[in-house]
Structure 1
Amino acid sequence: MNSKNWLDKVKWDANGLVPVIVQQELSNDVLMFAWMNREALLKTLELERAVYFSRSRNKLWFKGEVSGHLQYVREVRLDCDQDVVLLKIEQISNIACHTGRHSCFFWKFKGSLDRGNWVSVDPVLKDPENIYL
């Protein structure tokens, strides 16, 4: 029996990817959304650190490799349809977003349907110019 049959449970898309929601373990804050291929999921479980697949660079992306904002994986879940992965992580430095914010979900819709707008509601914790030198 193949020891990696559990990987076949995941419903990978036509490009061999699965969406990943990243949630901070203790606060349950949703920090970011990313993609994984089989190799990224395997590396994530092997290293107990978040490893994603960068579609723009077409390669594995070891979260925090450049920024230092590592994500230590505490739990991995698969949704009921088996087509979305949830990572519960410990976020190092409390910054998950490349903009220097805690979460990538910092735009909030405010106003009415005809006069609404997206407003940034979370502060920049560290200037991105000082993160990616």
Structure 2
Amino acid sequence: MAFDPATLKFDMNGLIPAIAQDAASGEVLMMAWMNAEAVARTLATGRVTYWSRSRQAFWVKGESSGHVQRLVEMRVDCDRDCLLLLIEQQGPACHTNRRSCFYTAVRDGAEVEIMAPMV
């Protein structure tokens, strides 16, 4: 059965959350938004493309930083309202120069930084 992006459930802004996960390690790296065109571009090129809500523009991950995400597999959740992108990540995924955007833990009611920036 061919994949039809029109079957995805985008929010009222035409967006769907996309979670990027390292295909080899399983580490969750980041979450960003995609619209239908970003999904189509990602599938066509194999380079992950997101929709930047702040810039109102497409954002090809790594285009300016060199920290490219190559799509290995796209998965759709059971409700069709969230995507899981299994990727190969070059360099850090986070704009803070950390491997993952999820570098802050909440432990005993306090925020704890659990990951230093990459050197």
Shorter-chain TM-score: what band?
A: over 0.9
SS at structure 2 position matched to 1:109 = strand
Distance apart, 1:89 and its partner CA: 0.1
Q: 1:50 aligns with which of 44, 48, 56?
A: 48
Q: 2:63 aligns with which of 62, 65, 87?
A: 65
Q: TM-score, normalization: structure 1?
A: 0.86
Q: Deviations over 1:55-114 (max 9, x none)?
A: 000010010011100000000010000000110000012x10000000000000122xxx
Distance apart, 1:5 and its partner CA: 6.9
Count how many residue pairs are aligned between Structure 1 and Structure 2. 118
**Which residue is 1:78 aligned to?**
76
**Which residue is 2:32 aligned to?**
34
**Which residue is 1:120 aligned to?**
113
- Counterpart residue type for residue 119 of structure 1: V
**Would you tell me which structure has more helix in proportion to its own residues?**
1
SS at structure 1 position matched to 2:111 = strand
Q: Distance in 2 between matches of 1:123 and 1:5?
A: 39
The alignment yields a C-alpha RMSD, in angstroms, of 1.2
- The sequence identity of aligned pairs, in percent, is 47
Q: Which runs of 5+ in 1 are unaligned?
A: 127-133
Q: Which runs of 5+ in 2 are unaligned?
A: none
Q: Distance in 1 between matches of 2:60 and 2:67?
A: 10
List 4+ stretches of structure 1 deviating above 6 A: none
Q: Distance in 2 between matches of 1:19 and 1:72?
A: 18
